[in-house]
Every structure is written in structure tokens, then in C-alpha cells.
């Protein structure tokens, strides 16, 4: 009897631990936006967001800055403290070229405690657009904050009077999802007040302004730094967390891994279902088709590929 029970347990264990098949494939990436066009210097786009405006156009917002002249090891020469503007570009459709470069919608202002502006994410609720972005001081990362600004047209923005809306250790890379009548704000932060691991935390809200205490959605001890740029997609009854940078075949921290969960509040590192060779990706759904974006230092702009679900 014990042998039978052990055999049953072993079968269940093997089935449970079996690697889950990747539920999607990704097409070829094509460049849709180059911020260096008509500029004297080369520019890049990093963490970014897409939204379709009431004007019928697609709007792209993102971290931006000038590329270093020495590109032999670009990560050693980038100065993130100079990322003081948000890029803005528009197009009549997602894949229609060229995208038009718009004026910077926001600039880091010392008056508001902004030494840089990072990682925008925008949602539309009722007749208002809400822009969440990270600000702070690189010398005092434990004081990083997430601010919010609002707009009626995606061109003119007003910072909210109750900023910051989130204060946490090294908080950045906000992402918003609405579930069962409440809003969930996901972001990258540290597991401890001083140091620790990078984790994906979340807070909840009923009004997009006042947020709860933080809780942890994703914590991977085996990859202490690969928990940035979280994007959560609900498809069917399941939720998918896209997060990176994660180690690739060469061992370098690059690309995005995908984790599946039945709950939007917890993602287990063991439930990895896929990988996409893209940095700080965003998912865009147009009609019944899905697209995934790619960007980064030294990449020359923003790229798009179709995401095919099996």
C-alpha cells in the first residue's frame, strides 16, 4: 500500500514539475519609431507606454535621453540622472510610419522634487488620462517616489496636488490593472528598507489617488535583480506577468520572462511559461490582435512584433 501511495505521489510530483509549454510565439520585430531623426545626437527610448487617444491616434510616451559617444559597453556610460524628459510620439495607427515626434510633455522640475522622470504608464478612466511615473534622487534611492499627473488630451499634463501617490524603497516602473472594481498598481521596489532583492510589489486603490500599504506579487531569490518593468496581462481566467531583465542563453541579463497565475496578486517563479527577447516590453491589443514592444539603450528606438497566442 505504501509503495502504491509513493508511486502516486511521484507521478503527481513529476506532472506538477513538468515545464509548462509556452502559450505564445512572437513574430519579427520592426522599428516603428526612431527618436534620433532630425536630431544632432543619437537618442534612445527606454521604459515606455502606449495608449490610444480620443483623437484616434496612438500615443507613445517613454524615458528618453542621448546615447553616449562610447558605445563599447553602453551600460557603463549611460547617465540615468540625465533622463529629465518624457518622450512623446504619435501615429495614425500602431504600425503606420513615420511616427511624429511631439514636444516633451513633462520635464523634471526641482520644485516638485524631481531630479529625473522615469518609466511612464498611462491609463484612461472616464474622461481623464492618468500618467504615473517615477521620480527621485539617485543619491537617495530609498526616497524614490511614484508621481501622478492628469490630462484631458494627452498633450497637456497637470501634476496632482497630492503627489507622491506612492513612496517606497527605490520605487519605479509603475503598471496599472483594474480587477473587480479596484485598481492595482504594480511597481519595482526593494524587498528590504536598505538593500535586499528587487521584487514586484503592488498597492490597491478605489480612486487612483490613495493607495494601500504594499504587498509582494513576485519575489525570485534566484534572480535578485531581474524584477523590473512589470507588465500584467489578463487573458481568459489567467494572468501573465512579463518581467525582466532575465538571464539569457549567454548569461547576460537581457530579455523578459513570463509567469502565469490564476491570481493577479501572486506570481510564483516556478510557473514560468515563456520568454521574449525584448527589453521593458509593453503589450498592445488592437482589435483581436496582440503586439509586443521592445526598446532600450543603444537600440535606436522602439520596435513592435505581433504576439500570437496558441
Q: What is the pLDDT of residues 21-32, one digit of tens each?
A: 899 999 999 999
* Strands of 43-52's sheet in order across: 43-52, 58-66, 85-91, 100-101
**How is residue 229 written as a grid cell?**
518593468
pLDDT digits (tens, 9 = 90+) for 151-207: 999 999 999 999 999 999 889 999 999 999 999 999 999 998 777 899 999 999 999
Q: Are 123 and 130 in contact (CB under 8 A)?
A: yes
- Cβ-based neighbour number of residue 143 at 10 Å: 16
Question: Looking at the domain assignment, is residue 3 inside a domain?
Answer: no
**Who's near 93: CB < 8 A, 6+ residues apart?**
58
Cβ burial 272-304 (10 Å sphere, 16+ → b, else e): bbbbbebbbbbbbeeeeebbbbbbbbebbbbbb
Q: What is the 8-class DSSP label of residue 119?
A: E
State the first-to-last Cα distance of the chain, in angstroms, to the nearest integer. 41
| Domain enclosing residue 206, as ranges | 23-309
In a domain, 213, yes or no: yes
Query: Is 263 inside a domain boundary?
Result: yes
Residue 261 lies in a domain: yes
pLDDT per position in the chain (310 positions), as tens? 445 444 444 444 444 445 678 999 999 999 999 999 999 999 999 999 999 999 999 999 999 999 988 767 777 678 888 899 999 999 999 999 999 999 999 999 999 989 999 999 999 999 999 999 999 766 665 667 999 999 999 999 999 999 999 999 889 999 999 999 999 999 999 998 777 899 999 999 999 999 999 999 999 988 878 899 999 999 999 999 999 998 776 556 689 999 999 999 999 999 999 999 999 999 999 999 999 999 999 999 999 999 999 9
Position 13 in a domain: no
pTM for the whole structure:
0.91
DSSP state of 107: B
Residues shown for the chain? 310
For the domain that residue 90 is a member of, what is the CATH number?
Answer: 2.115.10.20
Query: CA dihedral defined by 115, 142, 149, 203, rounded to 10 degrees?
Result: 170
Query: How many domains is the chain partitioned into structurally?
Result: 1
Dist CA 47 CA 45 (whole Å): 7
Amino acid at each position: 500500500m505504501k509503495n502504491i501511495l509513493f508511486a502516486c505521489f511521484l507521478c503527481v510530483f513529476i506532472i506538477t514539475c513538468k515545464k509548462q509549454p509556452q502559450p505564445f510565439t512572437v513574430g519579427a520585430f520592426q522599428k516603428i519609431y526612431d527618436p534620433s531623426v532630425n536630431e544632432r545626437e543619437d537618442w534612445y527610448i527606454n521604459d515606455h507606454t502606449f495608449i490610444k487617444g480620443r483623437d484616434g491616434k496612438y500615443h507613445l510616451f517613454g524615458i528618453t535621453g542621448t546615447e553616449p559617444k562610447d558605445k563599447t559597453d553602453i551600460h557603463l556610460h549611460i547617465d540615468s540622472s540625465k533622463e529629465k524628459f518624457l518622450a512623446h510620439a504619435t501615429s495614425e495607427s500602431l504600425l503606420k510610419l513615420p511616427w511624429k515626434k511631439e514636444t516633451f510633455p513633462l520635464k523634471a522640475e526641482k520644485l516638485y522634487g524631481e531630479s529625473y522622470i522615469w518609466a511612464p504608464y498611462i491609463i484612461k478612466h472616464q474622461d481623464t488620462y492618468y500618467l504615473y511615473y517615477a521620480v527621485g534622487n539617485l543619491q537617495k534611492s530609498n526616497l524614490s517616489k511614484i508621481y501622478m499627473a492628469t490630462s484631458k488630451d494627452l498633450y497637456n499634463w497637470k501634476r496632482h496636488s497630492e503627489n507622491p501617490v506612492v513612496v517606497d524603497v527605490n520605487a519605479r516602473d509603475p503598471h496599472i490593472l483594474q480587477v473587480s472594481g479596484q485598481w492595482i498598481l504594480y511597481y519595482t521596489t526593494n524587498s528590504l528598507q536598505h538593500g535586499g532583492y528587487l521584487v514586484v510589489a503592488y498597492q490597491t486603490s478605489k480612486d487612483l489617488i490613495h493607495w494601500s500599504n504594499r504587498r509582494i506579487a513576485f519575489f525570485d531569490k534566484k534572480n535578485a535583480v531581474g524584477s523590473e518593468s512589470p507588465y500584467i496581462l489578463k487573458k481568459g481566467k489567467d494572468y501573465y506577468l512579463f518581467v525582466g531583465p532575465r538571464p539569457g542563453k549567454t548569461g547576460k541579463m537581457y530579455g523578459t520572462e513570463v509567469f502565469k497565475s490564476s491570481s493577479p496578486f501572486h506570481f510564483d517563479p516556478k510557473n514560468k511559461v515563456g520568454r521574449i527577447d525584448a527589453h521593458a516590453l509593453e503589450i498592445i491589443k488592437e482589435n483581436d490582435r496582440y503586439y509586443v514592444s521592445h526598446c532600450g539603450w543603444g537600440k535606436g528606438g522602439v520596435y513592435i512584433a505581433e504576439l500570437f497566442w496558441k
